[in-house]
């Protein structure tokens, strides 16, 4: 994943409304109007959020007659998770070393 793709993914995920939209789409595809329903936002506002998600590659929009159902795309999230995973491993190693140090200090206590 390029830095630009990763930046776009995290920028899109930075907004709670967009994260909620993705959570809904994780349950299955939905139309714009179905996505508008749970929010106190207008259809144009939700459409702007959808455009950001689409540009980041997190969703796609299909064509079904008059409808344009939205679907979540897992690949960008998987790539972001892979990037985060490397940092999780780093922190786990640091915590393991800290645990070892604490065990040593406990054993040195009189």
pLDDT in tens, 56-80: 999 999 887 778 899 999 999 999 9
Domain that holds residue 41: 3-108
pLDDT of residue 68: 84
Q: Could you tell me the CATH number of the domain that includes residue 14?
A: 1.10.10.10
Calpha distance 98→4 (Å, rounded): 35
Q: Which of 60, 61, 62, 48 is nearest to 18 (CA)?
A: 48
CA atoms within 13 A on the CB side of 5: 12
Q: Structural domain tally of the chain? A: 1
């Amino acid at each position: 994943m390029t830095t630009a793709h990763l930046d776009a993914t995290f920028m899109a995920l930075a907004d709670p409304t967009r994260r909620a939209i993705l959570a809904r789409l994780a349950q299955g595809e939905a139309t714009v109007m179905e996505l508008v329903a749970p929010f106190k936002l207008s259809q144009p506002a939700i459409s702007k959020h959808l455009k950001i998600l689409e540009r980041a590659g997190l969703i796609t929009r299909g064509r079904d007659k008059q409808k344009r159902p939205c679907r979540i795309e897992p690949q960008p999230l998987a790539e972001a998770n892979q990037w985060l995973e490397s940092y999780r491993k780093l922190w786990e190693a640091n915590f393991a070393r800290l645990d070892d140090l604490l065990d040593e200090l406990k054993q040195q206590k009189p």
